[in-house]
């Protein structure tokens, strides 16, 4: 039976699809679906810029953070979010990187976001500016390194007039990375998908269409039409925000400085973000 809060677990979803296909005893197809379901979940996440991809554990805004260390410049993008959960974010899905610290009281654990937003550059820009990677100071820029790391420049160093509260981890200074996280995998048969219950019916249809397509079943065309309609409806739900839960972004928070190509989310932040 599905959970009232978490929906269907992994094997319940698979059996629901098999039952729809009339193949509940097909152990070969079931095994293939068990191998594929996590990739199906990732594919479902890519269908749309889902709001839940930026949350972890309910309403907790996904922002992973890491203490800055003296003379250290490279950081993993698999970190801890503000709810204490370990989550991963791909460098291609980063929306902003910033230093968050309490300027008036650096030892406070009540972090102030957007104390300094780092500008994204390319690795070659840093190499041209500082070939020996010798400059240090207050970090101003970051650039991706592979799919799971970033480097900041200049790296923090108190010996180069960088305030101690921007370096010492015990004083409440952190490097924050905000963006779209990766979904949690379903390793066990009783694991639940990393998708809110209100969108799981659509995920079931996505899984059904994906299975029909892989099996070259002619019913895939009709199922795709159903899926597209459900995704369109879910997008409208996912994008809806109460007007009193939005605010204009500060200029330094803009994600895209090309005014002619700004998106809705480039100029508004949710108040709980």
Assigned domain for 74 exists: yes
Question: Does one domain contain both 29 and 125?
Answer: no
Residue 190 lies in a domain: no
* Helix ranges (DSSP H) in the chain: 10-21, 27-46, 123-129, 200-214, 220-239, 264-267
pLDDT < 70: residue spans in the chain: 55-75, 79-85, 100-115, 126-127, 129, 131-134, 156-174, 241-273
Based on the fold, state whether residues 63 and 168 are members of the same structural domain.
yes
* 203 shares a domain with 143: no
Determine if the pTM surpasses 0.85: no
pLDDT at 65: 52
- pLDDT for residue 184: 87
- Pair 89, 122 in one domain: yes
Mind listing the pLDDT tens digit for each residue in 92-139? 888 888 776 555 554 555 555 556 788 888 877 766 767 666 677 777
pLDDT for 89 equals 82
Do 65 and 152 lie in a common domain?
A: yes
Residues 6+ apart with CB under 8 A from 205: 223, 226, 227, 230
pLDDT per residue as tens digits for the range 243-265: 555 555 555 445 444 444 445 45
| Same domain as 23, residue 44 | yes
- The pLDDT, as a whole number, for residue 58 is 39
Q: How far apart are CA 137 and CA 167, in angstroms?
A: 10
Q: Does 264 reside within a domain?
A: no
Same domain? For 111 and 172 the reply is yes
Could you tell me if 138 and 172 lie in one domain? yes
């Amino acid at each position: 039976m599905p959970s009232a809060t978490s929906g269907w677990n992994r094997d319940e979803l698979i059996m629901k699809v098999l039952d729809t296909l009339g193949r509940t005893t097909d152990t070969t197809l079931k095994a293939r679906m068990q191998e594929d379901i996590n990739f199906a979940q990732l594919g479902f996440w890519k269908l749309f810029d889902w709001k839940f991809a930026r949350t972890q554990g309910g309403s907790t805004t996904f922002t992973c953070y890491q203490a800055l260390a003296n003379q250290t410049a490279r950081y993993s993008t698999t970190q801890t979010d503000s709810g204490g959960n370990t989550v991963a974010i791909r460098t291609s899905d980063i929306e902003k990187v910033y230093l968050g610290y309490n300027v008036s009281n650096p030892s406070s654990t009540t972090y102030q976001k957007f104390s300094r937003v780092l500008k994204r550059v390319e690795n070659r820009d840093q190499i041209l500016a500082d070939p020996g990677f010798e400059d240090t100071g207050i970090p101003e820029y970051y650039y991706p390194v592979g799919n799971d790391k970033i480097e900041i420049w200049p790296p923090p160093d108190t010996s180069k007039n960088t305030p101690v509260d921007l370096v010492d981890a015990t004083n409440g200074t952190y490097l924050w990375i905000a963006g779209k996280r990766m979904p949690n995998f379903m390793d066990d048969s009783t694991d639940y998908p990393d998708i809110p219950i209100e969108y799981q019916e659509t995920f079931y249809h996505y899984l059904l269409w994906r299975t029909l397509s892989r099996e070259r079943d002619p019913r895939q065309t009709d199922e795709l039409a159903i899926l597209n309609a459900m995704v369109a409806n879910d997008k409208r739900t996912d994008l809806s925000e109460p007007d009193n839960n939005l605010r204009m972004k500060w200029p330094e928070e803009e994600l895209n400085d090309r005014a002619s190509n700004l998106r809705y989310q480039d100029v508004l932040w949710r108040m709980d973000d």
